[in-house]
Structure formats: structure tokens, C-alpha cells
């Protein structure tokens, strides 16, 4: 019974880290593109995303050899996930308004949970993660 709970917690931590990575990469690309095109943006936010991705890589490596993340790290990652969701929702809302005014968007405008899902899906991602 306990192994089931440990496995579930591990999967939740793997998913949390991967979701944060995918969302941060998307928002980083969006921010860099906005700055480069002169549409505005915050260079400090770009630096924050780069730092976040570096930390995420460290925690992912840690999780590859350990069963779960330390509780303080998992709480921080949950907080980061909430912030990434809010930022993504703002970007999504602005892209939807842009698409309404100027035609369709260049990519599907998906909700956070679909956008921050690995292409192979969660089941296969868990298997490949180990």
C-alpha cells in the first residue's frame, strides 16, 4: 500500500516539474519574441524564466535518483506552478483577443494543462522518466 502512495507522489512530482518546465519555456519564448519585436516585455522576467529552467533541471536530475522532492522544494514548485498558470492565462487571453481582431492565431490556443503536457502524453513520459 505504501509503495502505491510513494509511486503516486513521485508521479505528481515528475508531472509538476515537467509542467513547470514546459510552461516556463513557452513563456520565455513568448517574452523574448515580444521584446525582440518591440511589443514590450520585461527583460527581468526573461532572466527569471532562465533561472527557473536551470533550477528545474537540477530538481529533475535529483528526482531521477530519488523517490520524491523535499517538501520545501515541492511547495516552492507548486507556488511556481500557480504563478506560471496565471501568467499563461494572461498571455492566452491577450492572444485570443488578438486572434478575434486580426484573424486566427498561428498556433492552437490551448488551456494550460493541455499546453504544458509532453507530446507523448503523461503515461509514456512517466515510463521514460524512470
Q: What is the pLDDT of residue 60?
A: 97
Question: Would you list the domain boundaries of the chain?
Answer: 8-129
Task: Quick: pLDDT tens for 90-113.
Answer: 999 888 887 777 776 567 788 999
Task: Quick: pLDDT tens for 14-50.
Answer: 999 999 999 999 999 999 988 888 877 789 999 999 9
pLDDT averaged over the chain? 91
The C-alpha angle with vertex 47 and arms to 42 and 52, in degrees rounded to 5, equals: 125
Place of cell 514548485: 77
Burial 58-96 (b: 16+ CB within 10 A, else e): ebbeebeeeeebeeebbeebeebbeebbebbeebbeeee
Q: What is the mean pLDDT of residues 81-86?
A: 97
Amino acid at each position: 500500500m505504501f509503495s502505491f502512495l510513494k509511486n503516486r507522489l513521485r508521479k505528481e512530482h515528475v508531472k509538476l516539474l515537467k509542467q513547470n518546465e514546459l510552461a516556463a519555456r513557452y513563456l520565455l519564448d513568448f517574452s523574448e519574441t515580444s521584446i525582440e519585436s518591440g511589443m514590450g516585455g520585461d527583460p527581468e522576467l526573461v532572466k527569471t524564466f532562465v533561472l527557473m529552467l536551470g533550477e528545474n533541471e537540477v530538481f529533475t536530475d535529483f528526482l531521477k535518483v530519488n523517490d520524491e522532492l523535499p517538501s520545501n522544494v515541492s511547495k516552492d514548485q507548486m507556488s511556481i506552478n500557480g504563478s506560471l498558470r496565471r501568467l499563461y492565462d494572461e498571455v492566452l487571453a491577450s492572444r485570443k483577443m488578438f486572434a478575434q481582431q486580426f484573424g486566427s492565431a498561428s498556433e492552437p490556443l490551448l488551456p494550460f494543462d493541455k499546453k504544458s503536457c509532453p507530446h507523448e502524453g503523461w503515461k509514456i513520459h512517466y515510463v521514460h522518466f524512470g
